[in-house]
């Protein structure tokens, strides 16, 4: 339901205006001054504002300007004013208002305008919800339902800067499934997809802290960020993840490393790096060494 904030200093007009608006099925909250309106406005989810221009403290135009400063998202503001001069109308709209209704108020006119503004407000809310949903979709990997490369890159930048600023630890693990090409070639792509899903789910389930992040970095590669975990802790987590993948016990007859799906992990730490690129490169190098050394192991 649309919630309307009605700002009017005259008690009789305030009651009447609220009645008129409630009669079209909107909920109202009333304020008797601009100051009170600004206060209520921050405490309640207001969809629409009906604002008297002549008010005892700050006037309606100033109240509107201040509301626009406080809230980032748009919402309709309808003025009620005894003055119908062009200058007033222009000043009010320039101050951020969307419609201007003359007093004495004609009930039908006010209802029509408030209803029309309510429609625009509804549309805005729908768009905002759709946007939030898209944002969510754009950050999740479709196959594994964990954060995708884009989210990982964002998080890496944020976490890296935070670690540098606060001089805290940040560990990065690059996890690459071993001999996954022969797995795909022999078991088929669908089975390969299924295995990637299982690996992602298992990795995610082994990270217990809310700020740890596990993302799909690329094809059969995953990346884990561990903020505020020291070197020892990071190695401990990496070992746990290696074991967790192994104990999924997914058969892999064509691996020269094991009878089951395994992975190799390259680890790097943010402190000694001067960019996120360098951090990634270090983890990449370590991953290469883990592969060279026989796979199913970790290297720093």
Q: List interacting residues with ligand GH3 (CB under 6 A).
A: 143, 176-181, 184, 189, 192-193, 196, 219-220, 291, 295
- Work out what residue 54 binds among ligand GH3, Mg ion, none; the CB cut-off runs from 5 to 8 Å by kind: Mg ion
Considering only residues 56 to 85 of the shown chain, the ones binding Mg ion according to CB under 5 A are: none
- Cα–Cα distance for residue pair 80/64, rounded to 1 Å: 12
Asked whether 258 and 252 are in contact (CB, 8 A), the reply is yes
**CB nearer to Mg ion: pick between 52 and 98:** 52
- Work out what residue 79 binds among Mg ion, ligand GH3, none; the CB cut-off runs from 5 to 8 Å by kind: none
Give the shortest CB-121-to-ligand GH3 separation in angstroms.
43
Give the shortest CB-178-to-ligand GH3 separation in angstroms.
4
- Taking the CA atoms of 246, 247, 250 and 256 in sequence, report the sign of the dihedral they define: positive
Residues contacting Mg ion: total by CB under 5 A: 8
**CB nearer to ligand GH3: pick between 285 and 291:** 291
Rg (the chain; Cα; Å): 30
- Cα–Cα distance for residue pair 82/293, rounded to 1 Å: 84
- Work out what residue 284 binds among ligand GH3, Mg ion, none; the CB cut-off runs from 5 to 8 Å by kind: none
Binding mask of the shown chain, residues 143 to 182, with x at each position contacting Mg ion by CB under 5 A: ---------------------------------xx--x--
**CB nearer to ligand GH3: pick between 30 and 250:** 250
Give the shortest CB-160-to-ligand GH3 separation in angstroms.
26
Give the shortest CB-300-to-ligand GH3 separation in angstroms.
18
Is omega for the bond preceding 104 within 30 degrees of 0, making it cis?
yes
Asked whether 255 and 183 are in contact (CB, 8 A), the reply is yes
Strands 27-31 and 48-52: unpaired
CB proximity list for 195: less than 8 A, separation 6 or greater? 177, 183, 187, 250, 261
Q: Distances from the Cα of 97 to the Cαs of 10, 71, 78, 266, 279, in angstroms? A: 21, 14, 6, 57, 50
CB proximity list for 286: less than 8 A, separation 6 or greater? 174, 265, 266, 267, 268, 298, 299, 300
Q: Which of 22, 35, 87, 220 is catalytic?
A: 220
- Work out what residue 184 binds among ligand GH3, Mg ion, none; the CB cut-off runs from 5 to 8 Å by kind: ligand GH3
- Work out what residue 201 binds among ligand GH3, Mg ion, none; the CB cut-off runs from 5 to 8 Å by kind: none
Asked whether 143 and 216 are in contact (CB, 8 A), the reply is yes
- Cα–Cα distance for residue pair 110/12, rounded to 1 Å: 16
* By CB under 5 A, residue 32 contacts Mg ion: no
Sheet containing 263-269: which strands, arranged edge to edge?
A: 213-218, 221-227, 170-177, 263-269, 298-299
Identify the residue among 21, 32, 48, 52 touching Mg ion (CB under 5 A): 52
**220 annotated active-site:** yes
Give the shortest CB-198-to-ligand GH3 separation in angstroms.
12
Give the shortest CB-292-to-ligand GH3 separation in angstroms.
10
**CB nearer to Mg ion: pick between 47 and 220:** 220
- Cα–Cα distance for residue pair 20/157, rounded to 1 Å: 52
List residues with catalytic annotation: 220
> Where do contacts with Mg ion occur on this chain (CB under 5 A)?
9, 52, 54, 176-177, 180, 220-221
């Amino acid at each position: 339901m649309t919630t309307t904030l009605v700002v009017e200093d005259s008690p009789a007009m305030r009651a009447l205006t609220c009645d008129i608006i409630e009669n079209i099925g909107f909920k109202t909250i009333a304020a008797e001054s601009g100051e009170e309106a600004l206060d209520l406005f921050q405490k309640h989810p207001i969809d629409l504002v009906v604002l008297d221009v002549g008010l005892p403290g700050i006037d309606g135009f100033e109240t509107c300007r201040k509301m626009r400063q406080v809230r980032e998202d748009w919402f309709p503001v309808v003025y009620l004013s005894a003055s119908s001069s062009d200058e007033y109308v222009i000043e009010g709209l320039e101050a951020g208002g969307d419609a201007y209704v003359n007093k004495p108020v004609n009930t039908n006119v006010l209802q029509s305008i408030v209803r029309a503004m309510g429609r625009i407000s509804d549309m805005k809310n729908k768009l905002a919800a759709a946007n939030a949903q898209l944002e969510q979709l754009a950050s999740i990997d479709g196959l594994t339902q964990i954060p995708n490369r884009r989210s990982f890159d964002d998080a890496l930048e944020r976490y890296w800067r935070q670690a540098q600023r606060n001089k805290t630890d940040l560990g990065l693990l690059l996890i690459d499934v071993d001999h996954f090409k022969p797995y795909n070639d022999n078991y088929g792509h669908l089975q390969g997809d299924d295995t990637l899903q299982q690996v992602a789910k298992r990795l995610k389930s082994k990270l217990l802290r809310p700020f740890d992040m596990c993302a799909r970095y690329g094809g059969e590669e995953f990346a884990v960020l561990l903020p505020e975990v020291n070197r020892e802790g990071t190695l401990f987590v990496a070992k746990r993840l290696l074991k967790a993948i192994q104990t999924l016990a997914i058969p892999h007859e064509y691996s020269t490393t094991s009878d089951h799906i395994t992975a190799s992990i390259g680890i790097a730490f943010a402190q000694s790096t001067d960019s996120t690129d360098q951090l990634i490169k270090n983890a990449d190098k370590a991953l290469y060494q883990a592969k060279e050394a026989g796979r199913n192991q970790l290297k720093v």
